[in-house]
Structure 1
Amino acid sequence: MGKDFCQRFKHQNHFCDSDDFVVTGTSSRGNVMECNKFAMECDHRILVGGIVFHFLAGFGGGRKTVLPGISSRKTIDFNHKLYFKPGPAGSGAVETCANGITAGNPVHEDMVESAKLAKISFIVNAAVDRTNKIAQCFAGDIVEAHEAGMAFVKNMDGIKLDEQADVVIASACGYPKDINFYQGVKPIFNAVGAIKPKDGVLILVSKCGEGWGNPDTEKFAFEFENMLDREVFLRDNFGIGRYVGFKLFEVATQVHYILVSDMAPELFAKTDIIPCKTVEEAVAKAHEITGKEKMSTYIMPFAATTMASMDL
């Protein structure tokens, strides 16, 4: 917000583990909405943010500034666990909890209910282009303005495909977007819809100079032998770092996931991720996996922001 704003207005950094919350209501799915007391005591609540594709809620921005933005950890974890289908471990995920999808997405719908209970006055959300300049701003009602923004982003950064490819080579867009393994969640889920399921190959080029980037994500690499064990643990011990780890390792069971990074290959021994050191090595591995001399291929140089899919 800048120095001038901070000098003129009272401000607070939100902390989801504090005790300073008030209950604004309960969602239709049973989520008790605990919101930041400081924010709820204000006469108006104006949300400022950006709209991008989001691998769990469909899109960022809008209602996400309330949940998770100013919500308690308890409320956040309840919301994010809606990703799993009801039932025992192994039941899997709700298919509509995915990039670019809000219709029938329980995580998104629960967030919208939270924002309505928080009585938001209006929002100002921006869509940013590949040069990090504002392409368009959307202001007004939290639902209507955000829906307009989502449609704009889908048109600007969404790539409608006629067919999926044997191979997708995706770049995490360099520093700081490729700073660690954790950040790979963005380009992976923007690119995975462009790949033929099961037999397709995803090559992610991401330096990961700082390693895992999250201790819970690292834990999910070393302490579990398979995805079922990871799901059992995650359902009872939900946390966003664990969830991101789960999603990143799950992708490697759905397509052949090759990671070109600086990370040591032995770190991925208990996962299905195929580590490589160069793009040339990764492409050679892709030929080996597909058994094809000529592979249909998409290259996504801006995979951290652009999404490719047949369903857009």
Structure 2
Amino acid sequence: MKQYTWHYGEGELTFSIDERRIAAELHMATTPVLDNPVQAVKNGLDHPIGSKPLRELVHPGETVAILANDPTRVANSHVFMPVLLDYLNEAGIPDSHMTIVFALGTHRRMTEEEMIDSVGAEVAGRVKMINSYAKDSDDFVELGTTSFGTPVRFHKACVEADHIICTGSVVHHFFAGYGGGRKALLPGCAEYETIRKNHSLMLNPAAEIGRLEGNPIYEDQVEGTEMCRPTFLLNVVLNEAAEFTGVFCGDYIEAHKEACRFVDSQNGVRITERTPIVIATCGGYPKDINIYQMQKTMDNAVKAVAPGGTVILMAECREGSGSAILDETVRTFDSIDAIEESVRADFQIGRHKAYAVTRLMKKADFYLISSLDDAYARQAFFTPVHSVEEALALADKKHGGDAKITLMPYASYTVPLLR
């Protein structure tokens, strides 16, 4: 028996498995960690991709809106944000002319403490910080409609600024292709209806992980973003330990595509078989903060499990589902098919996540170790369990005691690719 200790929330869970049953343990590629991330950011600002250096794009007296991740997306903003502010100061932009806009999308508002923790106390004491909360409709300005029919409304702090700088991290995204890039603005700083209409395009089969070209979600987002075009992009790529492996600065489209290619080489993991059982974690907090975020791990785990197999998933979900509408959906509809029908009939943010979660349950059973109430977990079509050992005993009854197992200790970051 071999013992494993994996991240769970901000703590750990330990379990043991017969080593002979392990077909593979999936990790992202070992990519060199940047020795000096601060210097890498400075180099990126002065030697960008597809753009002039940032100092040549901004001018004294102008205003800048800097878009930043919320707590559900790790970007290590506290490392690069002071560098960015100092750089802008040198280019003639005082702190008083900068605003950090937290790109929440449809997520909850951040607290003052969370904002400070995200960017660091020094930065928080220098510049104004605000939430872009999608349901505060008075905070948004309408700019037009995309060819996909999406009404484009962005936060006034973005629209009124002379320059927008998008920041954040790049990872695979289950329907938008990849995170980062234009997503800081749309959906990050967009009004609720803009996000709802854009995300409704996820029902198109071309809206899939690892795809930009031909992906209607991505193309709609770019079309909308062009109505309030960002001046510059500062995206980072991190490894499983949240260490910097890449910094990509420049044009918000070209630099982002370079980052996506890098993410493919780092996070895409080749496998030779799909196994009957997969054991996975999100990699701990904040990736397992709620079902909303956990779903991305589920998508990746399904890529490693054999059809009709079992995924044993460890995800704390300290904030429950993360969506009142998701809660309402799973309590209203008594089947997976009924949820899909409801989404196709009336697409709503939150309900779409219930669909994204439950559609995967047609491919595999999910045994969930979490802090969710057991009754709610069952209502959401999971099988609640309280240990890996308990889950394995159930899986072995289904697949046999010698069924092969794939381990995914950082499943939110690793995308299995079958050879």
Name the residue aligned to 2:337. 228
The equivalences for 1:123-142 within 5 A come to 123-142=233-252
TM-score (structure 2 length as normaliser): 0.66
Give the AA of the match of 1:297.
I
Name the residue aligned to 1:78. 197
- Tell me if structure 2 keeps the 8 A contact 1:220–1:246: no
Structure-1 separation of matches of 2:127 and 2:283: 36
Name the residue aligned to 1:89. none
Distance 1:272 1:124, change over 3 A: same
- Tell me if structure 1 keeps the 8 A contact 2:317–2:372: yes
Does the alignment pair 1:239 with 2:348? yes
SS in 2 for 1:63: helix
SS in 1 for 2:266: helix
The percent of aligned pairs where both chains have the same amino acid is: 34
Structure-1 separation of matches of 2:141 and 2:290: 35
Does the alignment pair 1:276 with 2:385? yes
Distance 1:22 1:138, change over 3 A: same
Structure-2 separation of matches of 1:202 and 1:219: 25
Displacement of 1:183 in angstroms is 3.0
TM-score (structure 1 length as normaliser): 0.87
Displacement of 1:215 in angstroms is 2.2
Give the AA of the match of 1:134.
F
Structure-1 separation of matches of 2:373 and 2:129: 43
Does the alignment pair 1:254 with 2:363? yes
SS in 1 for 2:163: coil
**Unmatched segments (≥5 aa) in structure 1:** 85-93
Q: For CA contacts below 8 A with separation 6 or more, give which structure has more relative contact order.
A: 2
Name the residue aligned to 1:307. 415
- Tell me if structure 1 keeps the 8 A contact 2:168–2:236: yes
- Tell me if structure 1 keeps the 8 A contact 2:150–2:197: yes
Which one has a larger percent strand, Structure 1 or Structure 2? 2
Give the AA of the match of 1:49.
G
- Residue 168 of structure 1, aligned match among 278, 300, 315: 278
Displacement of 1:98 in angstroms is 2.7
CA RMSD in angstroms, aligned pairs only: 2.2
Name the residue aligned to 1:191. 301
- For residues 197-249 of structure 1, what are the alpha-carbon distances to aligned partners after superposition, in whole Å with 9 as ceiling and x for unaligned? 2x222111223345434322222222111123223333454333222222112
Name the residue aligned to 2:139. 20
Q: Which moved more, 1:176-185 or 1:100-109?
A: 176-185
- For residues 24-80 of structure 1, what are the alpha-carbon distances to aligned partners after superposition, in whole Å with 9 as ceiling and x for unaligned? 332221212112222112222111111112122121100101111111111110000
Give the AA of the match of 1:74.
E
Name the residue aligned to 2:176. 57
- Tell me if structure 2 keeps the 8 A contact 1:96–1:103: no
**Unmatched segments (≥5 aa) in structure 2:** 1-118
SS in 2 for 1:25: strand
- Residue 287 of structure 1, aligned match among 368, 390, 396: 396
Name the residue aligned to 2:292. 182
- Tell me if structure 1 keeps the 8 A contact 2:302–2:363: no
Give the AA of the match of 1:155.
S
